[in-house]
């Protein structure tokens, strides 16, 4: 039985599993998401993630072509921020970049990373495009069997130093 904190209650509550399957080959083990009884969860997924920038036009030059290849639309843009997602689906997770709300300088969170789940055939192309548009390589495209049999990924930092990954869990 796994324990989860239920949002808005602050109280832990048992979260039942149909099968407590852990992948013993993945470090501390991975819970198979398909095994959760999602009816007991009040979380519906990620709404959005945001990374700071010190130069929004430069960030747009970096992110616009990447998200175009991924089939995402620019859903929001003003003088302070921009977002990408599915313009016809507000429940689809969005990725934002913008100037920090508090007016302070944007900086990188050590250990923070956003991973984009992609078709495996796009990962090399996305990595190359990120580097072409001012990104820095943090891990060349390739298999990472320590994360799973079908795991294929590439890692970059955007021009502001935010770490991104392009990953597939079922690469052939």
Interval 131-154: pLDDT, tens: 999 999 999 999 999 999 999 999
Nearest to 171 by CA among 137, 138, 155, 148: 148
Tell me the domain boundaries of the chain.
2-40, 48-168
Taking only the tens place, the pLDDT of each residue in 109-127 is 888 999 999 999 999 999 9
Beta strands in 1-68 (DSSP E): 2-5, 12-15, 48-52
Q: What is the DSSP letter of 38?
A: G
Q: Tell me the pairing of strands 73-77 and 94-98.
A: unpaired
**Which residues, other chains included, contact 161 with Cβ-Cβ below 8 Å and sequence gap of 6+?**
107, 108
User: Burial letters for 106-144: b for 16+ Cβ neighbours within 10 Å, e otherwise?
Assistant: beeeeeeeeebebebebbeebbebbeebebeeeeebeee
* Fold designation for 48-168: 2,3-Dihydroxybiphenyl 1,2-Dioxygenase; domain 1 (3.10.180)
Give 95's contacts (C-beta < 8 A, 6+ positions apart).
Answer: 48, 49, 50, 51, 63, 67, 72, 83, 84, 85, 114, 116
| This prediction's pTM | 0.71
Rounded Cα distance between 170 and 148, Å, is 9
What radius of gyration do the chain's Cα atoms show?
Answer: 18
pLDDT digits (tens, 9 = 90+) for 34-55: 444 444 456 677 889 999 999 9
């Amino acid at each position: 039985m796994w324990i989860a904190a239920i949002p808005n209650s602050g109280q832990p509550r048992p979260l039942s599993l149909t099968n407590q399957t852990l992948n013993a080959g993945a470090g501390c083990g991975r819970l198979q998401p398909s095994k959760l009884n999602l009816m007991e969860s009040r979380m519906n997924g990620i709404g959005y993630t945001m990374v700071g920038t010190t130069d929004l036009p430069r960030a747009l030059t970096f992110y616009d072509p990447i998200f175009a290849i991924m089939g995402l639309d620019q859903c929001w843009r003003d003088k302070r921020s921009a977002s990408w997602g599915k313009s016809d689906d507000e429940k689809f997770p969005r990725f934002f970049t913008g100037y920090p709300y508090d007016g302070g300088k944007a900086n990188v969170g050590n250990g923070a990373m956003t991973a984009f789940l992609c078709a495996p055939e796009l990962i090399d192309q996305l990595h190359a495009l990120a580097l072409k548009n001012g990104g820095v390589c943090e891990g060349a495209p390739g298999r990472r069997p320590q994360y799973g049999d079908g795991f294929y990924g590439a890692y970059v930092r955007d021009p502001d130093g935010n770490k991104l990954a392009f990953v597939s869990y079922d690469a052939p």
